[in-house]
Amino acid sequence: MARSISYISGSQLLSLKRRPNIAVIDVRDDERSYDGHITGSLHYPSDSFTDKISDLIQEARGKDTLVFHCALSQVRGPTCAKRLANYLDELKEDTGINSIFVLEHGFNGWEASGKPVCRCTDVPFFSGIHWSSVSPS
């Protein structure tokens, strides 16, 4: 059965991010390092995404909702979300991932609307940060 991919607004994501079972997947490439990122997001660059899908599934274990984004969520975010959906359909194994979303207007829209952005450059990006422990800045 083909998985559907829906769009989610920044406000909807902000209200969902308090749940521990959601992961935000940033598929931007180099711009993540100088533009900042959504706090707690996992970084899986689009240029190597297909090769790293199995790593993402492992890192997102325990998460049932994944939200993808790139800068504008017009090409890379939706493309990577679709690649994951296709991979999961072919895998025919229950990974626990039930919902796949793409963030409307991407990171640029998130930031422009005043949502919290992390500009940390000396802290590694890892999945050990739970959304519930992140407060908006």
Please give the helix or strand (H or E) that residue 88 lies within, else none: helix 76-91
Q: At residue 42, what is the residue type?
A: L
Cβ(64)–Cβ(96) below 8 Å: yes
- In this prediction, residue 35 carries a pLDDT of 84
Of 70, 80, 118, 120, the catalytic one is 70
Contact 33, 121 (CB under 8 A): yes
| pLDDT at 122 (0 to 100) | 47
Residue 127 confidence (pLDDT): 41
Query: What pTM, to 2 d.p., does this model score?
Result: 0.85
Instruction: Give the pLDDT confidence score for residue 130 in this predicted structure.
Output: 43
**118 annotated active-site:** no
The segments of the chain whose pLDDT lies below 50 read: 122-137
